[in-house]
Structure 1
């Protein structure tokens, strides 16, 4: 059973999230807070926290960072109406685990919570589009931590502009092997396609090793 904390300053939204989580047999609500202060006062450790970006007494990204500091195994999703590129990249660059828009279907949000609980990076459709639009680089690569060393190497070469065939030649692997690994990368990063995975790598400042 995945334990979920939700934080949102709008009572109607908070009740809606609580009801949605209660409708899923694999989830249980362990806390519902209307502010960062209330969230920080909670004592029961959740597995996944779903946080509004804008709170009356703080920022959801900062709150997520503080909660992760307290509970290192915690996975944090930002849930917001704000799809601007800077917020998405700042959230992932801060080491949070996903970004979902409030206009997502309920099933998408439930799927995002389950995916985050298993360690996947989660980007809702609007958020992944924002990543593609992003031009700023985040200095950290926490958002790529779900990838293994070989996948990081492949993604770095793709970010550097190499084609699939060129990557295969550089790494002395079959082209089919590279295609399979790229498919794995897309799945682990929870993006829709190769282009979005490359955009995420760029946002993380990923560069090929010498």
Structure 2
């Protein structure tokens, strides 16, 4: 997103760990060309409380169970670019974010100078070429399964706990048709090297691909 000459990019941080937000704020305080706009534990909270953000520094695992893809799309809808800032312990989440058109991925374990330069580059609307992001993009074709809108609808309902009969009722399909869709979905995942033989497997794949929200974490954990 282009910035006017008299305004510095405003950086918002979305992370449920306050220490991470404070860390980025401190890094930005050393830069005279970037401005810390605020931090929040979820995308909704940031959008509700912080204005004028031009770049979001986004953690992938948030307390509201939102998927990386949904978060990036919500930020894009408000004209906000995204840089993923993560420990990268879950490659599925990194790939989900990469498929949603983020500007890059930077590890929290990176030196402060590296993180700051990544933020500066992303704030200019430029891609941040890190190994984590490159690996996610390279793996994207084999990772993300291409489902039709109808297949996705069936998967979302069935994987979230509905029976095949209930899915048929909700989608105005025959039960046999629903089962046919599920069979085709399983074949697609198997061909991608991500087998989904059970209903639990399908739920996991739906979460990994951002079709369903991640389970909420226990706040005490």
Q: Normalising TM by the smaller chain, what interval? A: 0.5 to 0.7
Aligned residue for 1:13, secondary structure, equals helix
**Residue 70 of structure 2 is aligned to residue 59 of structure 1:** no
Equivalent residue number for residue 25 of structure 1:
32
Check conservation: 1:81, 1:102, Cα contact below 8 A. yes
Counterpart position of 2:77: 69
User: Structure 1 residues 94 and 131 mapped into 2: Cα distance closer, same or farther (>3 Å)?
Assistant: closer
TM-score, with length taken from structure 2: 0.55
Distance across 2 between alignment mates of 1:16 and 1:137: 32
Determine which of 86, 90, 94 is the counterpart of 1:80: 86
Mapped partners of 2:89, 2:141: distance in 1: 14
Q: Quick check: 2:121–2:127 contact (8 Å CA) kept in 1?
A: yes
Aligned residues: 138
Residue 6 to residue 125, structure 1, CA distance change in 2 (3 Å): same
Q: Which consecutive residues of structure 1, in runs of 5 or more, have no partner in the other structure? A: 141-210
Residue 130 (structure 2) aligns with: 124
Q: 1:130 to 1:84 in 2, by over 3 A?
A: farther
Distance in 2, matches of 1:60 and 1:44, equals 21
SS of the residue corresponding to residue 50 of structure 1 reads strand
| Residue number in structure 2 paired with 1:185 | none
User: Aligned-residue CA RMSD in angstroms?
Assistant: 2.4
Is the CA contact 1:83–1:101 (under 8 Å) kept in the aligned structure 2? no
**TM-score, scaled to structure 1:** 0.57
Q: Offset at 1:39?
A: 1.4
Alignment of 1:25-174 (within 5 A): 25-57=32-64, 58-71=66-79, 74-82=80-88, 84-132=90-138, 136=142
Once the two structures are overlaid, the 10-residue window that deviates more, 33-42 or 62-71, is: 33-42
Query: Hey, what does 1:195 align to over in structure 2?
Result: none
C-alpha contact 2:9 2:33 (8 A) present in aligned 1 = yes
- Contact between 1:82 and 1:101, CA under 8 Å: does it hold in 2? yes
Post-superposition Cα deviations, 1:93-149, rounded to whole Å, max 9, x if no partner, equal 212221111111111111111111222222433443454566626589xxxxxxxxx
CA distance in 1, matches of 2:87, 2:12: 19
